[in-house]
Amino acid sequence: MTIPTRMAPRVRVSAGNWNDTFPPGELAKLVYEMGRQLDNEVRRGYESGEYLSDSFGMVILDPAAPNWRPSTDCILATIAVGNNGDGLLVNALAKVVIHRDHGQEAGIAVYTMKRTIPDRYFKWGFSALLDGTFAGGSGQKELQDRMLVTRFVADFNCALDSARKQSEADHPKNSWYANDNCPAAELTYALTRLAGDNSLTTLS
């Protein structure tokens, strides 16, 4: 019997709202390295008998995304480990969407808030929210999913915060988290649009 070769982790990363904090490609490199560590942890756990599966899928949402944006439009990164990891991503996404949209961890909602889960969504499993970052995972037992996701998000948050501190050190005189010290375009556009609205009452 031929044992299939274990695939390398598959990581997809959006730049999200971090184009100035991270040089091009650096955020993807960071997530990929964390994906490799996750892959090693899942593989070792499977070989020791702790985990029932050698695969895992995780979806991380952009912590800087506004609350009004649909959760499915907030995906910052996906990580698939093991040969079946890609097939687990849709379940991981369903979990984190339920959590962000309804305010309850998916692993609890499936037992106590079944009415909030649409048809064709998951029936069990866990998501996590830690200091503003949502993520969902799939592939192991419920509490193992929760542990793997929560630990990953804790490390991920630390990495993002460290990058922000480095950005502050690199640009000590900047008032904005921007290399050119300029505010976000949507902020200036909103005020410009307001200033040109003749239907508003202006007092001076």
Decide if 41 contacts 24 (C-beta within 8 A): no
Over the stretch 61-89, which tens digit does the pLDDT of each residue have?
999 999 999 999 999 999 999 999 999 99
Distance CA 144, CA 84 (A): 17
Q: Which domain holds residue 176?
A: 10-195
Q: What is the CATH number of the domain that holds 109?
A: 3.30.450
- In-domain check, residue 1: no
Structure tokens at 191: 């005020």
Q: How many domains does the chain have?
A: 1
Q: What is the DSSP string of 163-187?
A: HHHHHHHHSTT-SSSSTT----HHH
- In-domain check, residue 2: no
Distance CA 75, CA 52 (A): 27
- Given this model, what pLDDT does residue 121 score? 67
Tell me the C-alpha to C-alpha distance, in Å, between residue 95 and each of 127, 149, 150: 6, 11, 13
- In-domain check, residue 204: no
Over the stretch 17-71, which tens digit does the pLDDT of each residue have?
888 888 878 899 999 999 999 999 999 999 999 999 999 999 999 999 999 999 9
Tell me the C-alpha to C-alpha distance, in Å, between residue 99 and each of 53, 59, 126, 131: 24, 12, 9, 14
- In-domain check, residue 48: yes
